[in-house]
Amino acid sequence: MDFRYSTAADAPRTDCLVLPLPEGDAALRVIAALPPAVRNQVERARKDGDFTGKLGTTQLLLLGADGEAPAPRVLLVGTGKNEASDKALKKIIGAVYSGLKGTTAASAQLDLAHLPGALAAQPLAERVVRFGEDALYRMDQCKGEAAQAKITPPKLSSLILTGAAAEAAAIERGIAQGKATAAGIKLAKDLANLPGNLCTPTYLAETAEQLAAELPIATRILEQSDMEALGMGALLSVAKGSRQPPKFIIMEYRNGPDDAKPIALVGKGLTFDAGGISIKPAGKMDEMKFDMCGGATVFGAIKAAALLKLPINLVGLVPASENLPDGAANKPGDIVTSMAGITIEVLNTDAEGRLILCDALTYAEKFHAPEMCIDFATLTGACVVALGHPASGLFSNDDPLAEALLKAGTDTADRAWRLPLWEEYDDQLFSDFADIPNIATRGAGEAGAIVAAMFLQRFAKNMRWAHLDIAASSWVGKKATGRPVAMVTQFLVDQAAK
């Protein structure tokens, strides 16, 4: 999709004018300013009750090629009571694209000033672009040939966003960020939606190499033998139960001052989580192909940052493995030694995310000495219970970092909610035989998302660190959301502006 800014006066003629309108008399001001050919039709649609302005509804008006009409079609989109919520705006923008998809229009025009809410022009343009790419997203590559042949690609290929000339720069920045973020989200979704037999650790490594070929990103892959040499005993213990070789993916994007420490992004790249010997129940186990969404977030965010040419230094680390039951797999009670030298009693082989992440955190600290380190992981079912889909769970040992992430989430409608890391929770991590167990041994069953974060914190003591538990936000139903790529991209944009 091509998105472009224009003033209303200079906008080229498109196939469809998109006209968001509220319910009732609030619409009169906008209607009064319309060219007569459009105004008459809109008034008739309202009078006949074909269009009420109810939130998220659409009505297509066909004006034909002739006359003074600004476009052959006008798509009315209901904005309801013009309330300023993220939810309402998302519904309206979604309706714009589903309405457009229902026409044969290849190009369309939308005036940002017609969208309700209090958002400034830049974040508004960013959302219109990002939600648009989202609405047009499909994943058909696994359908058979006959089914693929029947798919008609959407006609819509260009959207002109109009706004006041004074807003031109802000809108253009919003469009650029929206496009880059959408490209990152698409990559994250494609990887996540791909099944476990295709999206393996090796596939993730190849994807990282491909990113390096496309963008100024340097990729390096650590193989099992490299991980052995580094003493990544926790990560390797998870991979032992799988026939797929583990990969430790390192992606570097350097466009900041040479001496500036990088921001490290670490993502759980567990390409399928059957639970290991502590095997999961069969129901919904297919969804554990999404257990690499943290890694996908890192891929997406680095891609977006590189597309935006942000003047920062970034390093992305993705420990990638499967977690399967096997004769060689971790057994409950096994004790492994992490790269940090901390010994871990694996009381539940299904708490594997923290095992692969702890070695990645140690690697980040030891080899990249980052300015700050943020990890992303589909870590706990408990986080799904605590927050549900609207929010990612945020944990941090650094208040300004936590605040900056929360703000970026609010600014992009890709929100997180902070949970505590109080010392009291640490008491739950007691092991009779090792330094630390991988699950709670005291107060077991309580505060599972926090206990998992407490575990990770042990390996991030010397860094400004934040952890995002994206178990609920990164996929909904059977579909990846691409979250929290938008939040991270916004965070990186904010960091670059500092």
> Is position 414 an interface residue for Mn ion (rule: CB under 5 A)?
no
Q: Stretches 14-22, 110-118, 157-165, 374-382: which one binds ligand BES (CB under 6 A)? A: 374-382
CB 191, min distance to ligand BES, A: 16
Residue 161 or 377 having the CB closest to Zn ion: 377
| Binding map of ligand BES across residues 416-455, x = CB under 6 A, - = no contact | -----------------------x--------x-------
Single residue of 111, 350, 359, 375 touching ligand BES by CB under 6 A: 350
> Is position 273 an interface residue for Zn ion (rule: CB under 5 A)?
yes
Residue 132 or 353 having the CB closest to Zn ion: 353
d(CA 136, CA 272): 27
d(CA 87, CA 297): 23
Give strand pairing partners of 20.
77
3-state secondary structure of 467: strand
End-to-end CA distance of the chain: 31
- Which residues from 390-449 bind Zn ion, rule CB under 5 A? none
What are the CA-CA distances from residue 443 to residues 51, 426, 438, 446 (Å)? 57, 11, 14, 6
Spell out the residues 6+ positions from residue 447 whose beta carbon is closer than 8 angstroms to its own: 382, 425, 428
d(CA 456, CA 365): 13
Residue labelled with tokens 């139960």: 241
Catalytic residue from among 261, 280, 309, 418? 280
> Is position 384 an interface residue for ligand BES (rule: CB under 6 A)?
yes
- Which residues from 244-283 bind Mn ion, rule CB under 5 A? 273
Of ligand BES, Mn ion, Zn ion, none, which one does residue 471 interact with (CB within 5 to 8 Å by kind)? ligand BES
Of Mn ion, ligand BES, Zn ion, none, which one does residue 53 interact with (CB within 5 to 8 Å by kind)? none
**280 is an active site residue:** yes
Give strand pairing partners of 313.
254
3-state secondary structure of 175: helix
Burial state string for 349-384 with b = 16 or more CB within 10 A and e = fewer than 16: bbbbbbbbbbbbbbbbbeebebbbbbbbbbbbebbb
Residue 291 or 469 having the CB closest to Zn ion: 291
Q: Which residue is nearest to ligand BES (CB)?
A: 381
Retrieve residue 30's tokens: 């906008």
**155 is an active site residue:** no
Catalytic residue from among 130, 173, 179, 354? 354
d(CA 374, CA 409): 14
Instruction: Number of residues interacting with ligand BES: please give it, by CB under 6 A.
Output: 16
> Is position 469 an interface residue for Zn ion (rule: CB under 5 A)?
no
> Is position 356 an interface residue for ligand BES (rule: CB under 6 A)?
no
Residue 235 or 382 having the CB closest to ligand BES: 382
Q: Stretches 155-163, 325-333, 349-357, 479-487: which one binds Mn ion (CB under 5 A)? A: 349-357
d(CA 252, CA 356): 20
Single residue of 183, 204, 351, 358 touching ligand BES by CB under 6 A: 351
Residue 207 or 278 having the CB closest to Mn ion: 278
- Which residues from 336-365 bind Zn ion, rule CB under 5 A? 353
Retrieve residue 76's tokens: 């009315």
Of Mn ion, Zn ion, ligand BES, none, which one does residue 448 interact with (CB within 5 to 8 Å by kind)? ligand BES
Strands of 71-189 (E only): list them. Answer: 73-78, 107-111, 158-162
Q: What is the largest CA-CA distance in the chain?
A: 84
> Is position 291 an interface residue for Zn ion (rule: CB under 5 A)?
yes
d(CA 91, CA 94): 5
Q: Stretches 70-78, 100-108, 159-167, 350-358: which one binds ligand BES (CB under 6 A)? A: 350-358
d(CA 331, CA 96): 52
Q: Please answer whether residues 243 and 196 qualify as being in contact, where contact means their C-beta atoms are separated by less than 8 angstroms.
A: no
Single residue of 345, 350, 375, 469 touching Mn ion by CB under 5 A: 350
Query: For the chain, how big is the Rg over CA atoms in Å?
Result: 25
One-letter amino acid for residue 196 of the chain: G
- Note the residues at the interface with Zn ion (CB under 5 A): 270, 273, 291, 353
- Note the residues at the interface with ligand BES (CB under 6 A): 273, 291, 348, 350-353, 378-382, 384, 439, 448, 471
Active site residue ranges: 280, 354
- Note the residues at the interface with Mn ion (CB under 5 A): 273, 350, 352
